[in-house]
Amino acid sequence: MFLEVSQLEVRYTGRTQAAVQGVTLNLKAGDIGVLIGPSGCGKTTLLRAVAGLEPVTGGEIRLTKSVVSSATLSVPPELRRIGMVFQDYALFPHLSVGRNVAFGIHQLPRAEQAARVAEVLQLVGLTGSEHRYPHELSGGQQQRVALARALAPRPQLMLLDEPFSNLDVDLRERLAHEVRGILKAAGATALFVTHDQFEAFAIGDVIGVMNEGHLHQWDDAYTLYHRPATRFVADFIGHGVFAPATLVQRGNNVVAQTPLGDLTDLDECPLPSSYPAGECDVLLRADDIVHDDHAPVQAQIVRKSFRGSEFLYTLRLASGHTVLAHVPSHHDHALGEWIGIRAQVDHVVTFPRG
């Protein structure tokens, strides 16, 4: 493994709660890992610890097998060969793009510097911009210069902390795809921090969901969405609700009895004996709920938000339970209207009753 973080703890002095606690993750060479989670969950602290900017109080960080951080050792940041890109691109305003990008490669002979600058500017799609100045560039272009500057010294690991958060939403999603392309073309291994799950999905090969200093899951996007390891991950990724359910054995199959009726034909459903009296909560995603005029279950629309090709409806059942549903946007029902719904769940995700 390229980057190995094991049982990491980072505690700021004077704080009772550790900012990062028991975090273990591995990143393969060439992979892009993304840390996502609500504000204050410890993402930046973890990134800064990997950079060597924050001392660790427990566990260790290894880069290509060598320990770079532990409670008793800290390799200085400049010896870690890490490239960093932060939210405020922090380009030097009085230096040209070329000189900004050459900043970390001053030790190279002039001609080599110029060649490397041209190479990374090409990589970020800014060929020939050497003589321009930061103020002449758009926010997205400035951020790409910052990326080129970080890549120029051929770091072994790139760290990016919310690099797009100052940019507007449209640009952010496009840049997220672009940056993934650039990092892949550079063959870089990278760890990226964001609080935006669309950005995480657009960029990451592996995504880690953090909350209150803990890493809840470190997996690819598909697994996070379909097999969330904890209630927190289930809640944080995608749209869904938990509904009370009772698992019962029916012949060779397990059936989940829910407020939306019985869920049958379930793959990978836990056995009823996994929970006391088979009682648990099931995750019902908005895309598991299908609008069907002929369904026996009716639900009232209490909220709706337009998302282009579909609506996200918030629906209340007669039982008082709430579910969410993605419904194609040509089904434009009014608030307060009752519509038929049924659940279409292939593999059920269950948790102990909350």
Contact region for ligand ADP (CB under 6 A) — 12-20, 21-29, 177-185, 306-314? 12-20
Q: Is 12 in the site for ligand ADP (CB under 6 A)?
A: yes
CB hemisphere CA count around 82 (13 angstroms): 26
Q: Is 228 in the site for ligand ADP (CB under 6 A)?
A: no
Q: Is 56 in the site for ligand ADP (CB under 6 A)?
A: no
Q: Is 44 in the site for ligand ADP (CB under 6 A)?
A: yes
Q: Which two tokens stand for residue 86?
A: 């932060």
Q: Is 43 in the site for ligand ADP (CB under 6 A)?
A: yes
User: Rounded CA gap, 100 and 134, in Å?
Assistant: 9
Size of the site for ligand ADP (CB under 6 A): 11
CB of 52 to ligand ADP, least distance (A): 15
CB of 49 to ligand ADP, least distance (A): 9
Q: Are 160 and 85 in contact (CB under 8 A)?
A: yes
Residue 181, helix vs strand vs coil? helix
Distance in angstroms between the alpha carbons of the first and the last residue of the chain: 37
Contact region for ligand ADP (CB under 6 A) — 41-49, 120-128, 263-271, 275-283? 41-49
User: Rounded CA gap, 242 and 237, in Å?
Assistant: 13
Q: Is 16 in the site for ligand ADP (CB under 6 A)?
A: no
The amino acid at residue 218 is: W
User: Rounded CA gap, 178 and 235, in Å?
Assistant: 28
Q: Are 185 and 11 in contact (CB under 8 A)?
A: no
Q: Which of residues 174-193 bind ligand ADP (CB under 6 A)?
A: none
Q: Is 39 in the site for ligand ADP (CB under 6 A)?
A: yes
Q: Is 45 in the site for ligand ADP (CB under 6 A)?
A: yes
Q: Is 15 in the site for ligand ADP (CB under 6 A)?
A: yes
Give the H or E element holding residue 119.
Answer: helix 110-123
The amino acid at residue 338 is: W
Q: Is the CB of 212 or the CB of 287 nearer to ligand ADP?
A: 212
CB of 301 to ligand ADP, least distance (A): 35
User: Rounded CA gap, 103 and 95, in Å?
Assistant: 10
Contact region for ligand ADP (CB under 6 A) — 42-50, 95-103, 113-121, 297-305? 42-50
Interface with ligand ADP by CB under 6 A: which residues? 12, 15, 19, 37, 39-45
